[in-house]
Structure formats: structure tokens, C-alpha cells
Amino acid sequence: MKKVGVLVGSLRRESYSKKLANNVVTLFPDGYEIECIKIGNLPFYNQDFDDENNVPTEVVDFRNKLGEFDAFLFITPEYNRSVPAVLKNALDTGSRPKTENRWGGKPAAIISQSPGGIGGFGANHHLRQSLTCLNMSVLQQPEAYIGNVATLLDESGSLTNEGTVEFLQKFVAKFVKLIEK
Ligand SMILES: Cc1cc2nc3c(=O)[nH]c(=O)nc-3n(C[C@H](O)[C@H](O)[C@H](O)COP(=O)(O)O)c2cc1C
């Protein structure tokens, strides 16, 4: 059994990213366990936590939790053409102390979304930049920029656009191939 952790870059109750995540988790094959990892409870990372050996419980728990996963899937909106702070904070929190980078060596994939047409391109690539620094193997192709997201989901949050479902199914299949490598 492989375990994939999903990190969503939005805390909003009706978040499109969360709705997309709920659809994407159903596209993984048997033998995969998918879990959404909570990041909204983390304090802003402060290097004093580690330098003074005074690490908050939420941070300890989060870092331990990351150890359970074989791979990570990031699903995020774009905030001001970049990565929402809540997601960047989670990355920074899991990356320290430097000798214990919890992300290191693990496969990752990114899906960005937006109600606009550009599909969160800026967030997607800023995130990619950080994941490279964290020594993750990031799925290169296909790239997933889900634009006009509001038109692709129904009232209950299900993806109604067949083309999008097909695309995400292919995306997940490629991600699974990367994980199996
Ligand atoms: C602070 C802030 C900045 C935003 N910046 C962008 C942006 O740069 N590009 C974009 O496409 N949408 C931007 N938006 C709109 C978001 O794409 C939209 O609110 C989206 O629904 C957020 O994702 P969520 O539904 O998962 O919460 C921004 C929204 C907020 C709150």
C-alpha cells in the first residue's frame, strides 16, 4: 500500500481547491491510500522553534505525520500570482531542521486552479521552485492548470466536465508511474 498526502492551499469552506481534491482522490488506483493533511492549524514558522528546541506540538505532529507518506499531491489556488501563505508555511515547517527535511526525496505533483483563465500558473511555478529546493521529484508532464474552475463543478462539488475528469485521470496515472519508479 502506498500513501499519498494531499495538501490544499486554501482554508476557505467552499474552496474550489478542496472540491477538486475530493474529485482527484477518487482517481487513484487500488493499492493507494490518500489522505488530506491539515495545515491550517500550524503557527507561522519561526526558526527559534528549532534553534531553541522549543517546537510547538502542532509542528511536531505535522512533521511526524509527513513521515507516513510516500508522496505528496499539492492542489492550490493562486494568490497574487504566487503560492498562498498557508501552503508556503506548511512547506517551510516541514523543511526544518535542515538535516530533517521531511519532503526530501519524495515524489510530488501540483495541480493549480483558478476561477480565472490562467489556471494559477504563477502559483504552480513558484511552488515548483520551492519543491525543487526541497529535493522533491516533481511530475513535469502533464502540467495541470485548471482554469475557469467554477464552470467545471456542480452544486455538490462534483466535476461535471468530462474532458477535465479524463485529463485528471491521465495526470494521476502519470503521477502513479512516477511514484512506482
Ligand atoms: C488574496 C487573494 C489573491 C488572489 N490572487 C489571485 C491571482 O493572483 N490569480 C488568480 O487567478 N486568482 C486570484 N485570486 C482569486 C482566487 O483564485 C479565488 O479566490 C479562488 O476561489 C481561491 O481558491 P479556493 O476556491 O480554493 O479558495 C486571489 C484571491 C485572494 C483571496
Cα-to-centroid distance, 99 and ligand 1 (Å): 34
Prediction pTM value: 0.98
What is the number of other CB atoms lying within 10 angstroms of the CB of residue 80? 8
pLDDT value, residue 123: 98
- According to the model, what pLDDT value does residue 62 have? 98
Atom of ligand 1 nearest to the CA of 11: 27
- The b-or-e profile of 107-125 (16+ CB within 10 A means b, else e) is bbbbbbbbeeeebbbbbbb
- Ligand 1 binding pocket mutation candidate from 114, 124, 125, 126 (most atoms within 8 A of CB): 114
The Cα 10–Cα 152 span in angstroms is: 18
Domains (ranges, CATH) in the chain? Answer: 2-180 (3.40.50.360)
pLDDT tens digit at each of 181 positions of the chain: 999 999 999 999 999 999 999 999 999 999 999 999 999 999 999 999 999 999 999 999 999 999 999 999 999 999 999 999 999 999 999 999 999 999 999 999 999 999 999 999 999 999 999 999 999 999 999 999 999 999 999 999 999 999 999 999 999 999 999 999 9
List the Cα angle 78/80/85 in 5-degree steps: 70
What angle (nearest 5°) sits at the alpha carbon of residue 25, between those of residues 23 and 27? 80
Residues whose CB falls within 8 Å of the CB of residue 64, separated by 6 or more in sequence, listed in order:
none
Length of the chain: 181
**Measured in angstroms, how far is the CA atom of residue 115 from the centroid of ligand 1?**
8
Which residue ranges have their beta carbon within 6 Å of ligand 1? Answer: 10, 12, 15-17, 77-81, 114-116, 118, 120
Q: Ligand 1, closest atom to CA 119? A: 11
Nearest CA to ligand 1 atom 24: 15
